[in-house]
Amino acid sequence: MGNRRSACYIVCVSGDTNLQLSLISAVGMIVVAVAAVIYWRRVSGLGWKWLWAGAGLWAAAVAFKIAVALLTNAAVIGFLKDQLPQPLFVVVGALYIGFQSSLCEIGFTWLAVLKWRQLGQNADRAIGVGVGAGAIEALLLGVASLVAISTALAHLEGTDAMRTEIDKLADVTPIFWLVAPAERIIAILCHVSTRALVLLGAVYHRPSMIFWGFLLFTLLDGMAGAAHVSGVMGKISVWWIELAILPFALVSIPILKWCRRRWPNEEAASHGVDNLYNQLDV
C-alpha cells in the first residue's frame, strides 16, 4: 500500500509541471496590471479617481455583456452555424461577437462621457480611464487564475478538467505560460486606445474618432471570437491568435501619441512649469 501511494504521489507531482508553470502566467497578468497603472501614474501624474472610473465602467460593461451573451449567444451562434457555410459562419459569427463586445464595453464608455464630459477633458485623463479598464481586467484574470491553479495543485476534487485543458494548451503552444501576460499587454493597449478615441471624440465633437474606437474594438474581439467559433482553440498554438491581434496593439501606440499631442494635459504641464520655477528659486 505504501509503495502504491508513493508511486501515485510521484506521478501526480511530475504531472503538475504545466500547472506550476501556469503560476508564472497568473502572476504575470497581475504584474502587467500593476505595471500599467504605475507607469501611467508616473508619466501623467493622473489622479486615482480616473483610473477607478475606468475600472468601474469596465465592471459594469462586462457584467452587462455576460448577461447579454448568456441570453443570446447560444441561439444566435447556433442559428448562424445552421444557415451559413463554415467559412462565412466563422466571419459573421466572429463579427457578431466582436460587435456585441464593443457595443457593451465601448458603448458604456460613450454613454458615460455623454453624462460626465470631464472623463475626456484631455488625453491623459481619457488614457487613464482606458488604463483602469485594462488593468482591472488583467488583475482579476490573474487573481482568478492564481486561485484556480492553486486549487488544482492541491488536487482538490473537480480540478482534473483544468489540468487536462492546461496540458492540451502546453502540447500545442510553445512557452505557453507567457501567452497570458503577452495577451494582457496587447489587450491593455487596445483598451486604452479605443477608449481614448471615444472619450476625446465625444467631448471634442469628432464622430470619426468614435467610429474608429468602436471599429477597432469590434475587430479586436472579433479576432478572438473567430478562434472560438472556428473550433481551432486547443488545436493550434495560441501564439497564432496573439499574432493575429498584435497589429491592433501596434496601431494603438501611434493613436495614443497623436491623442496626447492633440489634446495635452494643460493642467499637468502648468504644474510642471511651476515646479521648475520653485526649484530655480531655491
Local mean pLDDT, 10-residue blocks, the chain (282 residues): 39 65 94 97 94 96 94 92 91 94 95 95 96 97 94 83 86 92 96 97 96 96 89 86 94 96 75 41 40
Question: Domain count of the chain?
Answer: 1
Within a domain: residue 24?
no
Within a domain: residue 63?
yes
Within a domain: residue 23?
no
Q: What nine digits make up the cell of 58?
A: 469596465
Question: What pLDDT is attached to residue 154?
Answer: 85
Within a domain: residue 18?
no
Within a domain: residue 131?
yes
Percentage of the chain lying above the pLDDT 90 cut: 72
Question: What pLDDT is attached to residue 63?
Answer: 95
Question: What pLDDT is attached to residue 186?
Answer: 96
The single-letter code of the amino acid at 31 is: V
Are 218 and 156 spatial neighbours (Cβ–Cβ below 8 Å)? no
Question: What pLDDT is attached to residue 267?
Answer: 65
- Predicted model pTM: 0.86
Question: What pLDDT is attached to residue 2?
Answer: 43
Chain-centroid distance, C-alpha 31:
14
Please, how many CA atoms are within 13 Å of residue 144, restricted to the half-sphere of its CB? 8
Neighbours of 35 (CB within 10 A): 14
Q: What nine digits make up the cell of 184?
A: 494582457
Give the domain extent around 52. 37-262
Within a domain: residue 99?
yes
Question: What pLDDT is attached to residue 6?
Answer: 36
Q: What is the four-CA torsion angle of 232, 233, 235, 238, rounded to 10 degrees? A: 110
d(CA 113, CA 27): 33
d(CA 164, CA 162): 5
Within a domain: residue 168?
yes
What string of H, E and C letters represents the secondary structure of the chain?
CHHHHHHHHHHHHHCCHHHHHHHHHHHHHHHHHHHHHHHHHHHHCCCHHHHHHHHHHHHHHHHHHHHHHHHHHHHHHHHHHHHCCHHHHHHHHHHHHHHHHHHHHHHHHHHHHHHCHHHHCCHHHHHHHHHHHHHHHHHHHHHHHHHHHHHHHCCCCCCHHHHHHHHHHHHHCCCHHHHHHHHHHHHHHHHHHHHHHHHHHHHCCCHHHHHHHHHHHHHHHHHHHHHHHCCCCCCCCHHHHHHHHHHHHHHHHHHHHHHHHHCCCHHHHHHHHHHHHHHHHC
Within a domain: residue 26?
no
d(CA 94, CA 113): 28
